[in-house]
Amino acid sequence: MKGVVTQCLSNGMFRISLENGFNVIAHISGKIRRNFIRILLGDSVVVELSPYDLTRGRIIYRLKQTNLAPPNSSFKSNSK
């Protein structure tokens, strides 16, 4: 299920706002932790929900951001 990170908590825990409007607390999966992938506030992620407690989950993928801001046009380079 897709969601957006709304708050960074301690010990690799995050509060995620899901597409369907629910909020869950999720931790980082071992694969993401092992590969040093950073999860920041506002990142889009894929969350696997716990079958026992639907307010808890695991972040299994960080989606790539495609809407990056354009470069600042006032920047002037010194190269000729």
- Please give the full DSSP string across 24-69, using - where no structure is assigned: EEEEE-HHHHHTT----TT-EEEEEEPSS-TTEEEEEEEPPP--PP
For position 64, what pLDDT does the model report? 87
Residue 11 covered by a domain? yes
When divided into structural domains, the chain yields a total of: 1
Residue 28 lies in a domain: yes
Query: pLDDT (tens digit, 9 = 90+) per residue, 6-56?
Result: 999 999 999 999 999 999 999 999 999 999 999 999 999 999 999 999 999
In a domain, 31, yes or no: yes
Quick one: pLDDT band at residue 65, thresholds 50, 70, 90? confident
Classify burial at 4, counting beta carbons within 10 Å of its beta carbon; exposed 0-12, middle 13-18, buried 19 or more: middle
* Token couple for 36: 């040093």
* Containing structural domain, residue 7: 2-62
Tell me, yes or no, whether 78 lies in a domain.
no
Let me know if residue 77 belongs to a domain: no
* pTM for the structure as a whole: 0.78
- Specify if 74 maps to a domain: no
- State the pairing for strand pair 13-18/44-49: unpaired
| CATH number, residue 22 | 2.40.50.140
